[in-house]
């Protein structure tokens, strides 16, 4: 019976915190308000959680991991690599930042002020970088995949994700658009005029040089 009550109180704390984070944001939600919403004391909250940021991760991390795995499963049904990559990035950069009432902005607020030992979980960041890197590379040809084997791709994807969370909070009416998404996906897949060189993206300088060669060839013909 005692164990059931412990689980019940813990769940009440998480439920109260989620409602408050969603309505007021991380900054404007205090532990005392969380405790009041859970029908317990602030001191009792510390029996279950070390800090407010630990409570936030306890809510956000399982949801985000499950959401990304759902995205991975969805993407398997899309045969065309370009469309699959668009779906992956569109979901990650546009849809997820606005889901759950833009709840991800709470994480941005939290990690902008958190100090070591206060409940920050670097394991979530590492997992996201690895998992999203895998999803994007799975859309690529073997040659393109070799160009993005290191962790830099995953880091870029997650940093952009954080930026889109902030941007959704500030400008929710202007999400990631197809004019941005389509050329970026083509570049990552090694397609289109910016990816004319074998195995990768050509620079502007090399593209200009190539045009000059063609122009000289036409003049001499």
Same domain for 165 and 111: yes
d(CA 154, CA 151): 6
- Cβ–Cβ under 8 Å, residues 60 and 21: no
Nearest Cα residue to 92 out of 79, 108, 104:
104
d(CA 105, CA 167): 10
Average pLDDT, consecutive stretches of 10 residues, N- to C-terminus, the chain (221 residues): 72 97 95 97 95 95 97 96 98 96 93 77 92 96 89 93 93 89 94 54 46 53 52
The two structure tokens encoding residue 143: 């040659």
Same domain for 145 and 90: yes
Same domain for 126 and 174: yes
- pLDDT for 12 equals 97
Same domain for 158 and 129: yes
With a CB cutoff of 8 Å and minimum separation 6, the contacts of 193 are 207
CATH of the domain at 38: 1.10.10.60
For the chain, how many structural domains are there in total? 3
Same domain for 94 and 146: yes
Range of the domain at 15: 1-49
Instruction: Write the burial class of residue 157 (CB in 10 Å: 0-12 exposed, 13-18 middle, 19+ buried).
Output: buried
The two structure tokens encoding residue 207: 């593209």
Same domain for 200 and 159: no
- pLDDT for 182 equals 95
- 39 CA to centre of own chain: 34
- pLDDT for 73 equals 97
Same domain for 200 and 178: no
With a CB cutoff of 8 Å and minimum separation 6, the contacts of 33 are 16, 20
């Amino acid at each position: 019976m005692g164990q059931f009550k412990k689980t019940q109180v813990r769940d009440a704390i998480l439920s109260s915190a989620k409602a408050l984070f969603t309505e007021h944001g991380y900054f404007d939600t205090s532990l005392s308000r969380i405790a009041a919403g859970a029908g317990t004391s602030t001191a009792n909250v510390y029996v279950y959680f070390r800090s407010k940021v630990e409570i936030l991760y306890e809510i956000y991390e399982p949801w985000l991991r499950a959401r990304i795995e759902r995205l991975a499963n969805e993407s398997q049904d899309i045969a065309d690599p370009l469309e699959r990559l668009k779906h992956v990035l569109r979901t990650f950069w546009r849809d997820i930042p606005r889901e759950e009432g833009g709840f991800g902005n709470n994480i941005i607020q939290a990690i902008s002020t958190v100090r070591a030992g206060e409940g920050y979980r670097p394991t979530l960041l590492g997992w996201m970088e690895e998992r999203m890197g895998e999803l994007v590379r799975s859309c690529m040809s073997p040659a393109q995949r070799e160009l993005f084997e290191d962790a830099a791709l995953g880091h870029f994807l997650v940093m952009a994700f954080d930026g889109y969370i902030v941007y959704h909070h500030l400008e929710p009416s202007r999400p990631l658009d197809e004019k941005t998404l389509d050329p970026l996906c083509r570049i990552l897949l090694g397609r289109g005029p910016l990816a004319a060189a074998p195995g990768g993206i050509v620079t502007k300088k090399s593209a200009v040089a190539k045009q000059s060669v063609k122009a000289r060839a036409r003049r001499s013909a």
